[in-house]
Structure 1
Amino acid sequence: MALQVFLVLLLGVYFACLLFIFCYSLMQLHLTFLFRRSLQQARPVYPAPETWPDVTVQLPVYNERYVVARLLDAVCAFDYPKEKLQIQVLDDSTDETVGIIAQKVAAFQKLGINIVHICRPERTGFKAGALQYGLQQATGEFICIFDADFVPEADFLQQTIPAFTSPEIGVVQTRWGHLNAQNSMLTRLQAFGLNAHFTVEQSGRNFGKHFINFNGTAGVWRKTCIASAGGWEADTLTEDLDLSYRAQLKGWQFRYLQNVVVPAELPAAMPALKQQQYRWTKGAAETARKHRSLLWNTKTGLETKLHAWFHLLNSSVYLCVFLASLISVALLFAGKTLPFSAAFFRVSAVFLSGFLVLAFFYWLAYRETNNNARWWNFLPQFFLFLTVSMGLAFYNAIAVLEGYLGRKTPFIRTPKYNLTNEQKSWQKTAYTLSGTSGFTIVEGMLALLFWLALFAAFWLQDFRMLYFHFMLALGYSLVFFYSLKHSLVK
Structure 2
Amino acid sequence: MGVVVLIFYIFSLLFFLFYSLLQGHILLAYKALKAKKNVTCDPDIELSNYPAVTIQLPIFNERYVASRLLDAIAHIDYPKQCIDIQVLDDSTDDTGTIVASQVTLLKQQGFHIEHITRSNREGFKAGALKAGLESAKGEFIAIFDADFIPCPLFLKKTLCWFEQATIGVVQTRWGHINRNFSLLTKLQAMALDAHFSMEQSVRDANNYFLNFNGTAGVWRKSCILDAGNWKGNTLTEDLDLSYRAQLKGWKIKYLEDVVSPAELPVNISAIRSQQFRWTKGGAQNFLLNAKKIRQSNITKTQKLQALYHLFNSTTFVIVFLMAVVSIPVMMLYGHEQSNELLRNIGLVFLLPTLILFLYYSVPYFSIEKGNKNFLTYLYHFFFFMVFMMGLSLSNTIAVIEAYLGIQSSFIRTPKFNIGSEDKKSVKNIYIRKKMSVLNLLEGLFAIVFMLAVGYELYHEIYGFLYFHLTLALGFSTFFILTLKEYFNTAK
TM-score range, shorter chain: over 0.9
2:60 matched to which residue of 1?
62
Question: 2:71 & 2:402 partners in 1: Cα distance?
Answer: 37
Question: 1:23 & 1:415 partners in 2: Cα distance?
Answer: 35
Secondary structure at 2:269's aligned position in 1? helix
TM-score, scaled relative to structure 2:
0.95
Question: 1:210 & 1:24 partners in 2: Cα distance?
Answer: 17
Secondary structure at 2:488's aligned position in 1? coil
18-27 or 99-108, which deviates more:
18-27
Amino acid at match of 1:376: L
**Which whole-Å deviations, capped at 9, do the CAs of 1:393-423 have from their partners, x for residues lacking one?**
1111111111111110000000111111122
Residue of 253, 256, 259 corresponding to 2:254: 256
Residues 1:57 and 1:14: Cα distance change in structure 2 (over 3 Å): same
Question: 1:416 & 1:336 partners in 2: Cα distance?
Answer: 46
1:44 matched to which residue of 2?
39
2:392 matched to which residue of 1?
393
Amino acid at match of 1:55: V
Residues 1:473 and 1:8: Cα distance change in structure 2 (over 3 Å): same
Amino acid at match of 2:480: F
1:415 matched to which residue of 2?
414
Question: 2:306 & 2:396 partners in 1: Cα distance?
Answer: 20
**Which whole-Å deviations, capped at 9, do the CAs of 1:120-173 have from their partners, x for residues lacking one?**
233200000000000111111110000001001111101111122311001110
Secondary structure at 1:258's aligned position in 2? strand
Residues 1:344 and 1:233: Cα distance change in structure 2 (over 3 Å): farther
Residue of 240, 243, 247 corresponding to 1:245: 243
2:83 matched to which residue of 1?
85
Residue of 352, 355, 360 corresponding to 1:354: 352
Secondary structure at 1:469's aligned position in 2? helix
Secondary structure at 1:313's aligned position in 2? helix
Q: CA deviation at 1:41?
A: 2.1
Q: Is the 8 A contact 1:428 1:489 kept in 2?
A: no
Q: Is the 8 A contact 1:270 1:479 kept in 2?
A: yes
Question: 1:358 & 1:439 partners in 2: Cα distance?
Answer: 28
36-45 or 98-107, which deviates more:
36-45
Secondary structure at 2:202's aligned position in 1? helix
Residues 1:348 and 1:461: Cα distance change in structure 2 (over 3 Å): closer
Q: CA deviation at 1:427?
A: 3.8
2:153 matched to which residue of 1?
155
Structure 2 residues not aligned, in runs of 5+: none
Secondary structure at 1:143's aligned position in 2? strand
Amino acid at match of 2:153: D
Q: Is the 8 A contact 1:67 1:148 kept in 2?
A: yes
Secondary structure at 1:251's aligned position in 2? coil
Q: Is the 8 A contact 2:88 2:116 kept in 1?
A: yes
Q: Is the 8 A contact 2:20 2:352 kept in 1?
A: yes
Q: Is residue 319 of structure 2 the alignment partner of residue 321 of structure 1?
A: yes
Question: 2:196 & 2:136 partners in 1: Cα distance?
Answer: 29
Amino acid at match of 1:445: L
Structure 1 runs of 4+ with >3 Å offset: 336-352, 424-428, 458-461
- Within a 5 Å distance, the mapping from 1:257-272 to structure 2 comes to 257-272=255-270
Q: Is the 8 A contact 2:390 2:471 kept in 1?
A: yes
Q: CA deviation at 1:344?
A: 5.0
Q: Is the 8 A contact 1:34 1:207 kept in 2?
A: no
1:476 matched to which residue of 2?
475
Amino acid at match of 1:434: K
1:10 matched to which residue of 2?
5
1:405 matched to which residue of 2?
404
Q: Is the 8 A contact 1:180 1:421 kept in 2?
A: yes
Question: 2:434 & 2:396 partners in 1: Cα distance?
Answer: 21
Q: Is the 8 A contact 1:435 1:488 kept in 2?
A: no
1:34 matched to which residue of 2?
29
- Within a 5 Å distance, the mapping from 1:167-178 to structure 2 comes to 167-178=165-176
User: How many residue pairs align between the two structures?
Assistant: 485
- Within a 5 Å distance, the mapping from 1:265-414 to structure 2 comes to 265-335=263-333, 342-343=340-341, 349-350=347-348, 352-371=350-369, 373-414=372-413
Q: CA deviation at 1:237?
A: 0.4
1:3 matched to which residue of 2?
none
Amino acid at match of 1:186: L
Amino acid at match of 1:299: N
1:128 matched to which residue of 2?
126
**Which whole-Å deviations, capped at 9, do the CAs of 1:365-397 have from their partners, x for residues lacking one?**
112213264222211111110111111111111
Amino acid at match of 2:66: V
Q: Percent sequence identity over matched residues?
A: 44
121-130 or 427-436, which deviates more:
427-436
**Which whole-Å deviations, capped at 9, do the CAs of 1:326-354 have from their partners, x for residues lacking one?**
10111111125889975456676456411
Secondary structure at 2:376's aligned position in 1? helix
Q: Is the 8 A contact 2:346 2:464 kept in 1?
A: no
Residues 1:300 and 1:333: Cα distance change in structure 2 (over 3 Å): same
TM-score, scaled relative to structure 1:
0.95
Question: 1:105 & 1:117 partners in 2: Cα distance?
Answer: 7
- Within a 5 Å distance, the mapping from 1:428-443 to structure 2 comes to 428-443=427-442
Q: Is the 8 A contact 1:402 1:408 kept in 2?
A: yes
Question: 2:423 & 2:445 partners in 1: Cα distance?
Answer: 30
